[in-house]
Amino acid sequence: MSKDVLLLRARGLWENLAGVPVSFAPAGGVDVVVSPSSGLCPAGWAGVVALGGSVIVTVPTGDAAVIVREALGRLPTGALVDGARVREALPAAGVLGPAVLSYASPEGFRPVGTGGPVVEPLPSCHPELRRLEQTTGDDDAGEAALDEITSPAFVVREHGRVVAAAGYRTWPGRTAHIGVLTAPTARGRGLARATGSATVAHALAAGLLPQWRARLPASRRVADALGFEELGFQLSVEIAGDLPG
Say which CATH superfamily domain 120-227 falls into: Gcn5-related N-acetyltransferase (GNAT) (3.40.630.30)
Domain ranges of the chain: 3-100+232-239, 120-227
pLDDT tens, position by position, 78-116? 898 899 999 999 999 999 999 999 999 999 999 998 888
Q: Which residues contact 157 (CB under 8 A, 6 or more apart)?
A: 118, 120, 163
- At residue 24, does pLDDT exceed 50? yes
Share above pLDDT 90 across residues of the chain, in percent, rounded to a whole number = 88
Angle at 197 between CA 171 and CA 3, to 5 degrees: 65
Q: 27 falls in which pLDDT band (50, 70, 90)?
A: confident
Share above pLDDT 70 across residues of the chain, in percent, rounded to a whole number = 98
Sign of CA dihedral 111, 112, 113, 117: negative
Distances from the Cα of 94 to the Cα of 25, 56, 136, 241, angstroms: 27, 19, 24, 12
Peptide bond preceding 98 in cis form (omega within 30 of 0): yes
Mean pLDDT, residues 72-77: 90
Angle at 127 between CA 135 and CA 146, to 5 degrees: 65
pTM: 0.93
Mean pLDDT, residues 123-149: 94
Q: 26 falls in which pLDDT band (50, 70, 90)?
A: confident
Dihedral, CA of residue 103, residue 129, residue 236 and residue 197, to nearest 10: -10
- At residue 43, does pLDDT exceed 60? yes
Sign of CA dihedral 35, 230, 157, 120: positive
Q: What does the alpha-carbon distance between residue 13 and residue 189 come to, in Å, rounded to a whole number?
A: 33
Q: 245 falls in which pLDDT band (50, 70, 90)?
A: very low
Q: What does the alpha-carbon distance between residue 176 and residue 236 come to, in Å, rounded to a whole number?
A: 21
Q: Which residues contact 126 (CB under 8 A, 6 or more apart)?
A: 153
Q: What does the alpha-carbon distance between residue 223 and residue 98 come to, in Å, rounded to a whole number?
A: 16
Beta strands in 2-141 (DSSP E): 29-34, 46-51, 54-59, 92-103, 120-122
- At residue 244, does pLDDT exceed 50? no
Q: In the predicted model, what is the mean pLDDT of the chain?
A: 94
The whole-number pLDDT of residue 77 equals 82
- At residue 201, does pLDDT exceed 60? yes
